[in-house]
Amino acid sequence: MTTADLLGKIIQVVGALAAFSLVIGLVLFLIDRAPKRGRDYWQLAFFIAPALILLGVGLIYPAFRTSLLAFTNSSGKWVGGENFVWMFTQPAALITLGNTLIWVVLVPTVATAIGLGYAVFIDKSRGEKYFKALVFMPMAISFVGAGIIWRFIYDYRVAGNAQIGLLNQIVVWFGGQPVQWLQTTPINTFLLIVVMIWIQTGFAMVILSAAIKGIPTEQVEAAELDGTNAWQRFTNVTLPGIRGSLVVVITTISIATLKVFDIVRTMTAGNFNTSVIANEMYTQAFRAGEQGRGAALAIVLFLMVLPIVIYNVRILRKQREIR
């Protein structure tokens, strides 16, 4: 990482902290019911001015510059929408977009389903906290660390040699031939997705388990007295009771999945048709020197995340109105 990149990262972090401080300060100012005088507003402006400046330098300016770069080529010349045309017409770019959609469909769905099922089955069981710890532990591992661990699991050695990859060793035990898992399309994409699911399942399990415990006992007991079976209690009592938590879990995992970079970069570097938008954005901007294409990919990534955030906000607002 160059000095300029490091400085940019520092500015972005400071800008984010400034934005957070700005929001907190405004909230405290607004909830203070004491009468406001002109002097109070000048004091407010004086204290939030540094935060606004840092917010502009660290977040607003980079976003504006990225938007402009998306319409230029590698030499900085204005090319209009050529970068977006490239993105939606070139086979390699289309594969990248398709892979991203596969990730964002499978990871939140499977991770949430497994986490929810696990939370339901171990609820109030003996040793519940130990079972939770086992599933939650991958959350403590960085994406890079997880990628390295699973790369060893998928490791390939030529037939006849000792296999250090667990998956290929199992194949050999059953009389098969070792497979180059990370180089075999399209199964390699799904094998990378398994890593993300492995990490995110613990997050889903913890949040949903807490939500299940928050369901009033009276509702469960009333359902039991009505003669319902376990599945009916799950669909008619548990699921409605944790709907808000389900929305939060699915949207959080979806956003994390859209931004996934470390796993792909560590395990395949995006080769063999496994690239996703975040990885391709880095490759185009910092490896191929095509900053315009990288910026265009960043804008598309932002537009993909935006509907999820808006949906989450609307659901939370509806729940607040009901309460």
Condensed to tens digits (0 to 9), the pLDDT of residues 200-248 reads: 999 999 999 999 988 888 888 888 888 888 888 888 888 888 988 898 8
Looking at the 3D structure of the chain, how many domains does it have? 2
- The structure tokens listed for 274 are 């496994």
- What pLDDT, on the 0 to 100 scale, is given for residue 303? 87
Give the 3-state secondary structure of residue 100. helix
Residue at 77 is within a domain? no
| 301 within a domain of the structure (yes/no) | yes
Q: Judge if 276 and 311 occupy the same domain.
A: yes
Residues 39 and 142 grouped into a single domain = no
The pLDDT of residue 12 is 60
DSSP state of 36: P
User: Residue 231 is part of a domain; what is its CATH number?
Assistant: 1.10.3720.10
Domain extent at residue 17: 3-69
DSSP state of 270: T
Per DSSP, the three-state class of 226 is: coil
* Residue 171 domain-assigned (yes or no): yes
At residue 298's C-alpha, the angle toward residues 295 and 303, to 5°, is 130
- Same-domain check for residues 215 and 260: yes
pLDDT tens digits for 115-161?
999 998 888 788 888 888 889 999 989 999 999 999 999 999 988 88
End-of-domain residue from the set 39, 69, 99: 69
For residue 213, give the DSSP letter. H
Q: Is residue 265 part of a domain?
A: yes
Looking at the structure, tell me whether residues 40 and 113 fall in a common domain. Answer: no
List, in order, residues 6 or more apart from 242 with CB less than 8 Å away: 208, 211, 212, 214, 215
Amino acid residing at 99? N
Residue 12 host element (H or E): helix 3-31
List, for the chain, all residue ranges whose pLDDT scores fall below the cut of 70: 1-44, 319-323
CA–CA separation, 36 and 48 (whole Å): 17
The token pair that represents 302 in the structure block: 């932002």
Residue 30: per-residue pLDDT: 56
Per-residue pLDDT, 322: 62
pLDDT score of 65: 85
